[in-house]
Amino acid sequence: MKLWKSLLAGAAAAVALAAAPLATTAANAADQTRIALVVKGLGIGFFEAANKGAEEAAKELGDVEIIYTGPTDTTAEGQIEVINALIAQKVDAIAISANDKDALVPALKKAMDRGITVISWDSGVAPEGRAMQLNPSSTPLIGNMIIKLAADNLPDGGDVAVLSASATATNQNAWIAAMKQVMPNYPNINLVATVYGDDLSDKSYREAQGLMQSYPDLKAIIAPTSVGIVAAAQAVEDAGKVGEINVTGLGLPSEMAGHVESGASKSFAIWNPIDLGYSATMIAYNLAKGKATAEPGAEIPMGRMGSVKLDENTEGAMADPFVYDKSNIEQFKSIF
């Protein structure tokens, strides 16, 4: 049994030694506002970028410590374990991007019962499980942005067409409707057609080819879908129409980097995860400190991002989608 004892004693001592420095940092942090940024899973570029934004906000605020955490696998059960550990640490606020909008409600309710401010961002939680939800953007803002991106590159106006996902896609239809509402602000821009690529690469590619053949004067294709925008850019490149037709809309920097470089797409938009992490932190801080309350109609300041206005479901939109072009695509293409 001697072997056991010496091995065990060694192991216990090693664990205790390793843990000691961690214990002191936890104690020092007691007078700071501790905000936990809980993400869907660790090791995802989008969320790492959000953490960068949260750290930026913490630096600006001064007395904030960010706890960036999340499960290894993107499950609700994993996030509940993380939430329980955060409740135990008596953190001041939890800002979470949820893996499951319903399953987290009991755990987050418990957190709120114990005096922790809970907000959700990016992927929301059902209203009873959080004080507010921060959406990256909103339908009117996205609708306006996609037509603005096309118009900005067409000073003399011209024909544009929309390449959407499926005809029944709720998000895309709402964005296109919002876009049509603001079309009168762009009198030179003429919307000639709306086609549907069903979010399939090959179908989107053929629809884009069809648009180019049917409308020889086409100046821009607006694709408010990450699949469609890539397919359209590829179709424009393959047809040798780079410079004649500009592809824009909503896409992912990692997938669009090549097409921005080739010139097929001058610019496109999507939310910026850094801004999202920054804003979520600012809101969590203001709510935890009692500087603002999350109720319908309230306006909550979020530092350099202005303020967010809450609707009747206590949801709010952060900002216009962020524009990506040659100047910043290099920086973001490795993030998401």
Partner 1 sequence: MSRETPESRLESRPDSRRAIPDRLSTPGARLLRSWEALLLAVAVAIFVANCFASPYFLDPWNLSDATFNFTEKAMIAFPMALLIIAGEIDLSVAAIIALASTIMGMAAEAGFGTPALVLVGLGVGLVCGAVNGTLVTRFGLPSIVVTIGTMSLFRGIAYIILGDQAYTSYPPGFDYFGQGYVFWVISFEFVLFAALAVLFGVLLRRTSFGRMVYAVGNNPMAARFSGLRVGRIRFLLFLMTGLLSGVAAICLTSRLGSTRPSIALGWELEIVTMVVLGGVSILGGAGTIAGVVIAAFVLGMVTFGFGLLNVPGIVMSIFIGLLLIAVIALPRLAARLAPRRA
**Binding residue (CB under 8 A) for partner 1 from 6, 28, 59, 102:** 102
- DSSP codes, 142-173: HHHHHHHHHHHT-TT-EEEEEEES-TT-HHHH
* Position 15 contacts partner 1 (CB under 8 A): yes
Backbone angles phi, psi at 70, to 5 degrees: 170, 165
**Binding residue (CB under 8 A) for partner 1 from 61, 76, 192, 239:** 76
Number of other CB atoms surrounding residue 143 within 10 Å:
21
How many whole angstroms separate alpha carbon 166 and alpha carbon 305?
A: 33
Between 91 and 176, whose beta carbon lies closer to partner 1?
91
Number of residues that bind partner 1 (CB under 8 A): 44
User: Which pair of structure tokens corresponds to residue 133?
Assistant: 């939800």
Residue bearing tokens 């097929």: 264
Site for partner 1 in 123-142 (CB under 8 A): 126
* Position 75 contacts partner 1 (CB under 8 A): yes
**Binding residue (CB under 8 A) for partner 1 from 48, 52, 61, 100:** 100
**Binding residue (CB under 8 A) for partner 1 from 72, 168, 170, 213:** 72
| Contact between 255 and 226 (Cβ < 8 Å) | yes
**Binding residue (CB under 8 A) for partner 1 from 6, 26, 167, 296:** 26
**Binding residue (CB under 8 A) for partner 1 from 47, 49, 54, 71:** 71
Quickly count helices (H) and strands (E) in the chain: 11, 14
User: Which pair of structure tokens corresponds to residue 280?
Assistant: 């979520």
Between 118 and 318, whose beta carbon lies closer to partner 1?
118
Which range in 49-57, 87-95, 150-158, 237-245 contacts partner 1 by CB under 8 A? 87-95
Report the nearest approach of partner 1 to the CB of residue 277 (Å).
Answer: 17
Between 104 and 274, whose beta carbon lies closer to partner 1?
104
Tell the burial category of 16 from Cβ atoms under 10 Å away from its Cβ (0-12, 13-18, 19+). Answer: exposed
Report the nearest approach of partner 1 to the CB of residue 23 (Å).
Answer: 5
* Position 277 contacts partner 1 (CB under 8 A): no
Q: Where are the beta strands (DSSP E) in 76-217?
A: 93-96, 117-121, 132-135, 158-164, 189-196
Query: Of 156, 170, 276, 152, which is closest to residue 224 (Cα–Cα)?
Result: 170
**Binding residue (CB under 8 A) for partner 1 from 6, 12, 185, 334:** 12
* Position 89 contacts partner 1 (CB under 8 A): yes
* Position 177 contacts partner 1 (CB under 8 A): no
User: Which pair of structure tokens corresponds to residue 153?
Assistant: 């590159």
User: Which pair of structure tokens corresponds to residue 226?
Assistant: 């990450």
Residues near partner 1 (CB under 8 A) are 1, 3-4, 7-8, 11-12, 15-16, 19-20, 22-23, 26-27, 42-43, 67, 69-73, 75-78, 80-82, 84-90, 100-103, 105-106, 126
